[in-house]
Copies of this chain bind each other. A is one copy, B any other.
Amino acid sequence: MSKPMGAIPADFRGEGGMLLIGGRRCDDLVAEAGDTPLFVYDLAMIDRRMARFRGAFGGIRLHYAVKANSYQPLLRHVASKVDGLDIASGGELKLALEAGARAREIAFAGPGKRDSELAAAIRHDVTLNCESEGEAERALAIAAGLGRTPRLAVRVNPDFEIRGSGMRMGGGAKPFGIDSERAAALVRRIVDSGADWRGFHIFAGSQALESAALVEAQSKALALAAKLADEAGAAPPSVNLGGGFGIPYFHGERPLDVEAVGEALSEALKKRPQILADTSFAIELGRWLVGEAGVYLTRIVDRKESHGKTFLVTDGGMHHQLAASGNFGQVVRRNFPVAIANRFGALAEEKASIVGCLCTPLDRLADDVMTPKAGPGDLVAVFLAGAYGLSASPQHFLAQQPALEMAVGGGG
C-alpha cells in the first residue's frame, strides 16, 4: 500500500510535463543555477500572500519573522513590503540591516540574548522584546552605559495557547517571555526607568490551521494586553499579537481561512477597551508568508530495487530539508508533497520511496508514494520548502555538496 502525501500548493503548474516555478521551467532554473540541489523561492507567490493578508487585515501591521527564511534576496524583497521585521539573534539583526530594513521597524525576541546582542540592538534603536526581568535589567544597564534610551517591549508568556497549534508557545511553564501575572510590574519598571516602552509581544503558538483557534487566541491576547495595560497604568504604543498562521503540510490538512480570522479580529478591535484605543497592532508571520513559495529541487542519482521495493536515490536529502525527513519536531513521520518535476502532472504509475544521499536510514524525502516512473537524471521537487528549510537543516552533515538558492519572480 502506498502512503499519502500532502497537497501540492495550487499555485504550481506544469508546462509540457515540466514544473514551472514563478512561470519558469524548473530544468532551466537548475541550468541557470548550475547544479542541484537547488532551493527556488517564488517571490510573486509571497507577494500574493502579503496582498491577501492586507486584504483580510486592514489596519494591522504585517511583520515578517526572519527566522523562517533569511536568504538575502528574499529577505530584501519582503523587507521592502512589510511593516516590520522580527528577529531572533544578533546574526539576524545584521541580515535584516543588510536587507535594507529600517532599524526602528525591527524587534528582537529570543530567550537567550547575550549582552553583546542587547548592546547591538540598543545601539541601532531596535526594539527589544524583554523575555525576563533579568534580561530587562541587563538591557537597562547596557543602555545606561551607552548613554541611550532603549526601546523595550515586554514579551508575555500568555496563560493560554492556540488550540491545535503545531508548537505550543504559551500556556504553562515556558522559557519564552514572562508570566502574565508579573508583566505589569515589569512594564512599570521599564516606564519608571525612563526607557521607551514599546508595548507587548504575545505569542501563543504556531502552525495553526483552524481559524476558530486563531480567533480565540487573538481575542484572548487583546484582552490580556488591555488587562496588563490597566494594571500597569500605561497604554501600550504597540501590541504584537503573534502569528501562528499555519500551512497544510500533510495529507488531509486544509488551508487556514485567513479571511475569517481577519474579520473576527476587525470586529474585536472595534470593541477594544479604551486603553488600547491608540495602540497599533501587528501580526508576525513567517511560515505562512514564505513556506509554500519554496521548492527544493534535487536530482535522482540512482534507482534501485530492494526486496521488491523501489528506491529513488537523490543528490539531496535531510541535510537540506530536515523537516521533510520527519526529524524536526515531528513525532510521526508523514510525507511532504513531492513530485517528479520533469514529469509534472503525469500519471502516478508506481510506488517508490525517495531518499537522500546520506548514509543513514533517517534520510527519507518521501516514503512509499505513488509517482510517475522515474530514474537517474530526473528531478524531484519537494514542496513547502520556503520556510524552515535550508537554514533549519544540518547542512554540513557528511560534508555533502551545499545546496544552492535562487529567487524568481516578484517584479516589484
Residues in A lying within 8 Å of B, measured CB to CB: 66-67, 70, 88-92, 94-95, 109-114, 131-135, 157, 167-169, 172-176, 178-179, 301-309, 311, 313-315, 317, 322, 327-329, 331, 353, 355-362, 376, 390-401
A174 to B362, CA, bound (A): 12
Listed from nearest, the 9 A-B pairs whose CB atoms lie closest are A112-B357, A91-B399, A173-B309, A173-B307, A132-B304, A173-B306, A175-B311, A88-B359, A112-B313
Q: Which residues of B contact A157 (CB under 8 A)?
A: 306
- Do A302 and B131 have beta carbons less than 8 Å apart? yes
- With beta carbons under 8 angstroms apart, the residue of B135, B175, B355, B398 that contacts A175 is B355
Interface centre among A317, A396, A399 (most CB of B within 10 A): A399
- Minimum CB–CB distance for A287 against chain B, Å: 12
Q: Is the CB–CB distance between A302 and B134 below 8 Å?
A: yes
Please tell me if the beta carbons of B358 and A302 are within 8 angstroms of each other in the complex: no
Q: Is the CB of B167 within 8 A of A361?
A: yes
Q: Can you report 23 A-B residue pairs in the complex whose CB atoms are below 8 A from each other?
A: A67-B359, A88-B398, A90-B401, A92-B399, A95-B399, A110-B398, A111-B313, A112-B301, A112-B355, A113-B357, A114-B301, A132-B304, A134-B303, A134-B376, A157-B306, A175-B353, A176-B361, A178-B304, A179-B306, A327-B327, A391-B394, A391-B397, A391-B398
- Told that A70-B399, A110-B358 touch, could you supply 19 new A-B pairs with CB distance under 8 A? A66-B399, A88-B399, A90-B401, A91-B401, A113-B357, A131-B304, A134-B302, A134-B303, A134-B376, A168-B361, A172-B307, A175-B304, A175-B361, A179-B306, A327-B327, A327-B328, A391-B396, A391-B399, A395-B395
Neighbour of A67 across the interface among B353, B390, B393, B398, CB < 8 A: B398
CB of A361 within 8 A of CB of B392, answer: no
* Residues of B with C-beta under 8 A to A358: 88, 110, 112
Q: Are A400 and B89 in contact (CB under 8 A)?
A: yes
Cα A265 to Cα B344 in complex, Å, equals 52
Q: Which residues of B contact A398 (CB under 8 A)?
A: 67, 88-89, 91-92, 110, 391
Would A111 and B302 be within 8 Å (CB), given that A395-B394, A399-B70 are in contact? yes
Within the complex, the shortest CB–CB distance from A387 to chain B, in Å, comes to 12
**A333 to chain B: closest CB distance in Å?**
10
Measured between beta carbons, the chain B residues less than 8 angstroms from A359 are: 67, 88, 109-111, 176
Cα of A169 to Cα of B331 in the assembled complex, Å: 21
The interface residues of chain B lying within 8 Å CB-to-CB of A396 are 390-391, 395
Residues in chain B near residue A112, CB distance under 8 A: 301-302, 313-315, 317, 355-358
CA–CA, A57 to B303, complex, Å?
38
Q: In this complex, what residue of B is CB-closest to A328? A: B327
Residues of B with C-beta under 8 A to A376: 134
A400 lies within 8 A of B91 (CB): yes
Q: Which residue in chain B gives the minimum CB-CB distance to A316?
A: B112
User: A392: which of B178, B317, B329, B394 is its contact (CB, 8 Å)?
Assistant: B394
CB of A75, distance to nearest CB on chain B (Å): 11
Contacts of A94 in B (CB 8 A): 399
Per a CB cutoff under 8 Å, which of B175, B304, B361, B400 touches A134? B304
- Cβ contacts under 8 Å, A88 to chain B: 358-359, 398-399
Are B399 and A306 in touch, CB under 8 angstroms? no
A355 CA to B322 CA, complexed, in Å:
21
CB closest residue in chain B, given A169 = B361
What CA separation (Å) do A118 and B50 show in the bound complex?
46
Check B301 against A175 for contact (C-beta < 8 Å): no
